[in-house]
């Protein structure tokens, strides 16, 4: 239920609201990696001063999922009453997290808008788990509450790094929230599994696990000990202007299956990622949501690519160098070098981030050539 049941009477007179624009929603979608707009539009939003950081979306809830030292987020509120009001900030602290609100008091005229900053600082307690609190703006007649959701991390690293070339080097920053030893592990680089297929257009435009109408299935066995698994299709690897979707099921015993991922973008550029996949059979369904015509009627030829790399899987074509000891609140660089890659394909691998507690996260390394 989130923050609780809706109270219609209070919702009719909230005091303050968190206004938001379509541009801000677009910027949010760019920041979470599933943009509703083009990359050029994402770049334009940044030039226009909008943040792509998901935590900066102007909504009442304040959530920071990757805190390694301190982070400040900004919110703006609009007074929707017909009189000016003065609000004071009341805070319920998340365990082990410092919260500073600036200003701590807001006077907002009727129909006017005010901004405030919230700075969240990790102080103590276990890392890599969420803590919760609240911020409530209280006036004589209204109380406007926001949930605070904070996850202090031991390591915050990019989810994926892209580069190009048969040999090369790339460097990326890693933020550290602990003090101690650190080691970057190498996994891959691996060539893709390449599966060609054809799918009819589904006239009903509705995927079902139990039908072959507009659906083509690929059964793929994944060995034990894998760190990462990806299935992907690309617009340029279909025969035309098609909208193909992807549904992925895990069938560990080959009989009982459960859906573990799907991708339904407006094109045929689909991707499903699985971290630490289980051993067994995976079924990748390609759904012909909308296709152009080929000989015999609507349908599409396509190529499905699949990659996996193991927890113990150094292929000898990539190295990683980074710090061996880190300090909380600092940022250090990790450098990845690769060589000997074949042309006209995409290699995938990973750099694992390891603390004294073990593997914390993986940065996927994506090298086109």
Q: Which residue from 296, 293, 233, 301 is spatially nearest to 267, judged by alpha carbons? A: 233
Whole-number pLDDT of residue 3 = 62
Residue 155 contacts residue 67 (beta carbons within 8 Å): no
Whole-number pLDDT of residue 44 = 87
Which helix or strand (DSSP H or E) is residue 19 part of?
A: none
Q: Please state the φ and ψ torsions of residue 56, each to the nearest 5 degrees.
A: -90, 0
Whole-number pLDDT of residue 2 = 53
Residues of the chain with confidence (pLDDT) below 70:
1-4, 34, 294-297
pTM above threshold 0.85: no
10 Å Cβ neighbour count for 75?
Answer: 19
Kindly list the distances between the CA atom of residue 166 and the CA atoms of 185, 337, 348, in Å, as whole numbers in the listed order.
21, 11, 13
List, as one string, the DSSP characters of 244-293.
EEEEEEEETTSS--EEEEEE--SSS-EEEEEESPPSEEEEEEEEEEE--E
Whole-number pLDDT of residue 296 = 57
CATH topology of domain 8-19+58-152: Immunoglobulin-like (2.60.40)
Which helix or strand (DSSP H or E) is residue 231 part of?
A: strand 226-233
The span from the CA of 352 to the CA of 186, in Å, is 7
The span from the CA of 211 to the CA of 12, in Å, is 47
Domain positions in the chain? 8-19+58-152, 154-369
Whole-number pLDDT of residue 206 = 83
Per-residue model confidence as pLDDT tens digits over 153-209: 999 999 999 999 999 999 999 999 999 999 999 998 999 999 999 998 888 888 888
Query: How crowded is the C-beta side of 173, counted as CA atoms within 13 Å?
Result: 6
The top-level CATH class assigned to 154-369 is mainly beta
Instruction: Work out the burial of residue 309: count CB atoms within 10 Å of its CB; fewer than 13 is exposed, 13-18 middle, 19 or more buried.
Output: buried
Q: Please state the φ and ψ torsions of residue 194, each to the nearest 5 degrees.
A: -115, 120
Whole-number pLDDT of residue 1 = 45
In 3-state terms the chain splits into helix, strand, coil percentages (rounded to 5) of 10, 55, 40
Q: How far apart are the first and last CA of the chain?
A: 48
**Cα-Cα-Cα-Cα dihedral sign, residues 61, 70, 131, 278:** positive
Kindly list the distances between the CA atom of residue 170 and the CA atoms of 39, 270, 318, in Å, as whole numbers in the listed order.
22, 26, 11
């Amino acid at each position: 239920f989130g923050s609780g049941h809706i109270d219609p009477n209070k919702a009719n007179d909230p005091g303050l609201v968190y206004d938001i624009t379509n541009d801000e929603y677009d910027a949010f979608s760019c920041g979470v990696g599933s943009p509703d707009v083009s990359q050029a539009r994402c770049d334009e939003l940044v030039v226009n001063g909008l943040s792509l950081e998901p935590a900066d979306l102007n909504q009442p809830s304040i959530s920071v999922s990757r805190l390694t030292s301190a982070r400040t987020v900004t919110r703006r509120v609009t007074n929707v009453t017909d009189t000016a009001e003065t609000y004071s900030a009341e805070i319920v602290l998340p365990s082990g997290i410092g919260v500073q609100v600036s200003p701590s008091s807001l006077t907002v005229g009727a129909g006017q808008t005010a901004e405030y900053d919230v700075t969240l600082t990790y102080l103590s307690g276990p890392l890599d788990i969420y803590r919760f609190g609240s911020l409530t703006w209280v006036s004589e007649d209204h109380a406007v509450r926001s949930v605070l959701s904070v996850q202090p991390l031991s390591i915050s690293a990019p989810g994926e790094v892209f580069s190009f070339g048969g040999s090369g080097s790339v460097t990326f920053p890693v933020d550290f929230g602990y003090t101690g030893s650190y080691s970057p592990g190498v996994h891959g680089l691996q060539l893709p599994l390449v599966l060609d297929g054809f799918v009819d257009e589904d006239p009903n435009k509705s995927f079902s696990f139990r039908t072959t109408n507009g659906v083509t299935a690929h059964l793929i066995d994944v060995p034990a000990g894998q760190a990462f698994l990806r299935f992907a299709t690309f617009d340029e690897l279909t025969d035309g202007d098609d909208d193909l979707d992807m549904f992925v099921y895990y069938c560990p015993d080959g009989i009982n299956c459960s859906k573990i991922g799907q991708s339904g973008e407006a094109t045929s550029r689909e991707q499903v990622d699985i971290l630490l996949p289980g051993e067994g059979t995976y079924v990748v369904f390609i759904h012909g949501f909308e296709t152009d015509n080929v000989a015999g009627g609507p349908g599409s030829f396509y190529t499905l690519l699949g990659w996996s790399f193991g927890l113990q899987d150094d292929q000898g074509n990539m190295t990683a160098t980074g710090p061996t000891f880190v300090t909380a609140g600092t940022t250090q660089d990790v450098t990845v070098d690769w060589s000997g890659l074949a042309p006209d394909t995409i290699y995938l691998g990973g750099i694992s981030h390891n603390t004294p507690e073990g593997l914390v996260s993986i940065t996927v390394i994506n090298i086109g050539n």
